[in-house]
Homo-oligomer: A and B are copies of this chain.
Amino acid sequence: LPLVDHTEGQLFLNDTFKIIMEEVLCKGTDIKHKVCEWKEPKELALLLDLELRATGEPQHRLLQRVQDVAKYSIKTSHPRFMNQQFGGVDYHALAGRFLTEALNTNLYTYEVAPVFVLMEAEVLRGLRQLVGWTEGDGLFCPGGSASNMYAMNIARYQHFPEVKSQGLCGLPRLNIFTSSDSHYSVKKGAAFLGIGTDNVIIVEVDEGGRMIPDDLDEKITLAKSQGAVPFFVSCTSGTTVRGAFDPLDLIADVCEKHKLWMHVDAAWGGSVLFSKQHSHLLKGVYRANSVSWNPHKMLVAGLQCSALLLQDTTDLLRKCHSANATYLFQQDKFYDLNLDVGDKSVQCSRKVDCLKLWLMWKAVGSIGFAERVDKAFNQARYLVEQMKKREGFHLLQEPEFVNVCFWFIPPSMRGKEGMADYQDRLAKVAPVIKERMMKQGTMMVGYQPLGNKVNFFRMVVFSPLLTQKDMDFFLDEIERLGKDL
């Protein structure tokens, strides 16, 4: 007899679903409940009794464990979770995710994923249309870093197809260009692909955090003069910290001049393309060769949902990554082999990441997404205006996007900007407020230094269920937590 039969198993799943509904989705999104139940690691380990043992446990004990996991996990769907760009919840997306898990298939061949092979193609087509491409290629990847790495590898393959078989050995030094405010995945990717982090040339940004095209042009020329081979420019649409948008049109001119692959890391900002009002921020994106776009961020599709989009129509993606495994991609199948998309990927097993986005898109339509994006901009604007009405909130800069970066100046420090240790003291404010908010569980927001700017908060405003009341609470709470500092 099996250890668990279908009936018993389905009963357990049903009970788990009830706990999820109650603890994660009702209480977990209710402002009367905490966003986190902070425990020190040692205490939490004891509470969870994590140890894996020889014998199994009865169902009621396991349900208690489900309850505990829910209880001590961060409520990322809570209106007061503003810590990162994956907060909030979309129920249609979540329904798509549950269905994905239950169907448990693998997006590599039409025979095991007929619905999802067709669906992924359609979703990628929809995203590409917003970029401005009627044709092209693409793939969902396990996160934006992977999408960026894919772009890098495909660009390298286009410049030097022999790299696939012969490797980099014997080739000249390759150079990648990206701004100082770009995401760290560009460097991680360069290291992983054997290009090396020193070969990622950092381009300067303007006061708003946008790449300076003239500096890019100069650094490309300099790199060439030093014997390197520039091949890839990674622009950013929506930088992680400040939410800046690189001037794509001007960068495209530089890339065309030097014949470099232009990649746009729009993991965060890509969703702005839905909005007629704000899509100008990505003006010129259609001139890129590739775009990374994470609907798990601003569109609240849920982790993971990252699309790599390509303008290419010459099957570069497959040529670059294929290995033609005969056990999976048999050539004597009874259907069109182009539907076996697995060989476009460097993964073998690949999760289905398109259904959640597709179902959500069907539910709200492109217009609905546009409204959400516009609303997020408005909310950010509201937050900025409220900050300006209060003492103690100093904006890092006027936001270009929905990242609102600011210092909170505690009452004791106000008007004392001239003091010698002012910056040192200011640097310590955000970490203390952060510790307090987490230990009290009232909200979560991130902070970081940037260049010579000491620790400041970064509020990201995008969850469709966020209200002005939540913004007001946020400001009140920062004041409350920092008033004695």
CB of A30 to closest CB in B, whole Å: 9
The residue that A70 contacts in the complex, of B8, B103, B142, with Cβ under 8 A, is: B103
Contact across chains for B24 and A103 when beta carbons are under 8 A apart: yes
Complex alpha-carbon distance, A20 and B97, angstroms: 11
Contact across chains for A10 and B21 when beta carbons are under 8 A apart: yes
**Inter-chain contacts of A52 with B (CB < 8 A):** 122-123, 126, 358, 361-362, 366
Stoichiometry (number of copies): 2
> Of A251-259, A308-316, A320-328, A469-477, which binds chain B?
A320-328
The residue that A164 contacts in the complex, of B196, B323, B348, B372, with Cβ under 8 A, is: B196
Query: Quick one: which of A110, A118, A191 has the most chain B CB within 10 A?
Result: A191
Complex alpha-carbon distance, A73 and B103, angstroms: 7
Tell me the A359-400 residues at the B interface (CB within 8 Å): 359, 361-368, 371-372
Let me know if A341 is at the binding interface, CB within 8 A: no
**Inter-chain contacts of A76 with B (CB < 8 A):** 103-105, 112
Contact across chains for B20 and A14 when beta carbons are under 8 A apart: no
The residue that A368 contacts in the complex, of B3, B16, B66, with Cβ under 8 A, is: B3
**Which residue of chain B has its CB nearest to the CB of A325?**
B184
Given contacts A144-B348, A326-B450, A348-B185, contact A3 B371 (CB under 8 A): yes
Let me know if A53 is at the binding interface, CB within 8 A: yes
Tell me the A152-181 residues at the B interface (CB within 8 Å): 153, 156, 163-174
> Of A84-92, A203-211, A217-225, A278-286, which binds chain B?
A84-92
A340-368: CB near B (< 8 Å → 1, else 0) gives 00000011111100010011011111111
Contact across chains for B184 and A118 when beta carbons are under 8 A apart: no
**Inter-chain contacts of A250 with B (CB < 8 A):** none
Given contacts A21-B10, A104-B303, A347-B143, contact A334 B50 (CB under 8 A): no
Complex alpha-carbon distance, A424 and B380, angstroms: 68
The residue that A74 contacts in the complex, of B114, B294, B464, with Cβ under 8 A, is: B114
Contact across chains for A171 and B173 when beta carbons are under 8 A apart: no
The residue that A20 contacts in the complex, of B77, B102, B339, B358, with Cβ under 8 A, is: B102
Given contacts A111-B438, A365-B54, A366-B53, contact A12 B91 (CB under 8 A): yes
Contact across chains for B90 and A4 when beta carbons are under 8 A apart: yes
Categorize the interface residue count of chain A: 35 or more
Complex alpha-carbon distance, A98 and B14, angstroms: 11
> Of A55-63, A230-238, A413-421, which binds chain B?
A55-63
Contact across chains for A83 and B54 when beta carbons are under 8 A apart: no
**Inter-chain contacts of A193 with B (CB < 8 A):** 192-194
Let me know if A135 is at the binding interface, CB within 8 A: no
Contact across chains for A2 and B465 when beta carbons are under 8 A apart: yes
Let me know if A485 is at the binding interface, CB within 8 A: no
Let me know if A149 is at the binding interface, CB within 8 A: yes
Let me know if A190 is at the binding interface, CB within 8 A: yes
Contact across chains for A367 and B55 when beta carbons are under 8 A apart: yes
Selected A-B contacts with CB under 8 Å, 10 pairs: A14-B21, A52-B361, A163-B194, A165-B196, A168-B194, A184-B348, A303-B351, A332-B428, A332-B455, A334-B435
